[in-house]
Amino acid sequence: MSAVGLAAETWTRRHLLDVDQLSRSELEATLDLAAALRERRRAGDLGEAMRRLAGHTLGLAFYEASTRTRVSFELAARELGATVVDLSVAGSSAAKGESLVDTMRTLERTGVRTVVLRHPAAGAPYLVARTTGLRVLNAGDGAHAHPTQALLDALTLRDALGGTLRGRSIAIVGDVAHSRVARSNLHTLTRLGARVVLGGPPAWVAAFQHWPGVNVAASLHDALRGADAVMTLRVQLERAAGGGIGSLREYTRRWGLDEERMSWARARAPLLHPGPTNEGIELTAELAASERSLIGRQVSNGVAVRMAVLSLLAD
């Protein structure tokens, strides 16, 4: 069955828990669909897509604060015709100590059919998928996965690097160990044929050396050299103290990105960041605002990617 009249086959799966579920051809097809939806949105004409989720109630269950991702999902769902319910966790029974499973079961009983779940515990969406009849879309679970972020990063990179990631070298710098964005990106990038080089303090990157297609560099210079694109991650400030590095200053000195350091990568190599940025720590304000930075495009690709995923999930 084609989704939104754009000649894309819907999936047989009802959940998107992580990008590891998608084969290379499914990844490419999803990105293609997202690009097509993006064009339709720009042209102001969504056509059939507007009714894809008509009559469908979708719940946003964000157990971690987020504006960017939540708004992005809400826009995506509404543009497809869904009724959106925001389960604002603070003040709900969830905050009063009701278990995740109980809250989700209650949500299901009120007629919600899909839940977009962001939760601080890795594995939470899997728990909801097996204990309820809801379709589950993972919007970020602990340090494990953030599938739609990885998809929009892949779309952004694919566009910036001439339409394919095959054979490309992508550097990811920062706290990979605690980053769900990084993990999901490792799946998509390697599956799409790219090589990944990681840079950062050992406690944050060393464990990934066994990941096929991934290398760990000893210095920022080694990580950036030959990179077609660079992604840096937000240093979680609460994690810095006693969490594998000495001080934030040292992190910035050894692994922080600025325009001069970016010149170690391939000429005009673009920069990505999942946001929100800590300017002055993992990257400078100038770099974030420079022409290399695709941060703005990542955000605008987010809605299209989420529309694509919502369209492709089986009923």
Partner 1 sequence: MVGHTTARFGALTDAPATFLLAGVRVVDPANGSDAVRDLAIVDGRIAESRDLPDDIRRLDGQGLVVAPGFCDLHTHLREPGMEGAETVASGARAAAHGGFTAVCAMPNTDPALDEVARVAWVTTLGRDASARVRVTAAATQGRAGEALADFGDLAAGGAVAFSDDGAALPTARIARSALEAIGPLGLPLIEHPEDPTLASGTLMRAGPVATRLGLAGWPPSAELLVVQRDIALAEETGGRLHLTHLSTAAALDAVRRAKDRGVRVTCDVTPHHLSMSDAWVAGDRTFNWDEPGPTESEPFGEALDPLRAYDGTCRVNPPLPCREDALALIRGVADGTVDAIATDHAPHPPERTLVEFAEAAPGMIGLETALSLGLAAVEAGCLSLAGLLAAMSTRPAALIGEERSLRPGAEADLVVFDPADRWRVERDWLASLSTNTPLMGMTIPGVVRLTLANGRVTFDEGMGLLV
**Contacting residues toward partner 1, per CB under 8 A:** 15, 17-18, 20-21, 99-101, 119, 121-124, 126-127, 129-131, 141-145, 177, 180, 183, 186, 207-208, 210-212
Smaller CB separation from partner 1, 55 or 212: 212
Task: State which residue, 138 or 278, has the beta carbon closest to partner 1.
Answer: 138
* Of 92 and 99, CB closest to partner 1: 99
Closest to partner 1 by CB, 84 vs 136, is 136
Strand 57-62 to 214-216 pairing: unpaired
What angle in degrees, to the nearest 10, is found between the helix axes of 147-160 and 24-43?
80
**Shortest separation between residue 284's beta carbon and partner 1, angstroms:** 29
In the complex, the smallest distance separating the C-beta of residue 166 from partner 1, rounded to whole angstroms, is 18
295-312 vs 68-79: helix axis angle to the nearest 10? 50
Least separation in angstroms between CB 24 and partner 1: 12
Q: Tokens representing 99?
A: 């278990």
Instruction: Output the smallest distance, CB 142 to partner 1, in A.
Output: 6
Q: Which is nearer to partner 1, 5 or 123 (CB)?
A: 123
**Least distance to partner 1, CB of residue 71, Å:** 25
To partner 1, the closest distance from the beta carbon of 21 in angstroms equals 5
Which single residue is written with the structure tokens 């160990």? 177
Beta bridge partners of 137: 16, 116
Nearer CB in complex with partner 1: 127/304: 127
Query: Please, which residue, 62 or 208, has the CB nearer to partner 1?
Result: 208
- CB nearer to partner 1: pick between 66 and 300: 66
Give least dist CB 61 to partner 1, A. 13
CA distance 94 to 114: 18
* Nearest distance, CB of residue 187 and partner 1, angstroms: 8
**Cβ-contact 87, 134 below 8 angstroms:** no
Distance, in Å, from the CA atom of 286 to the CA atom of 283, rounded to the nearest integer, reads: 8
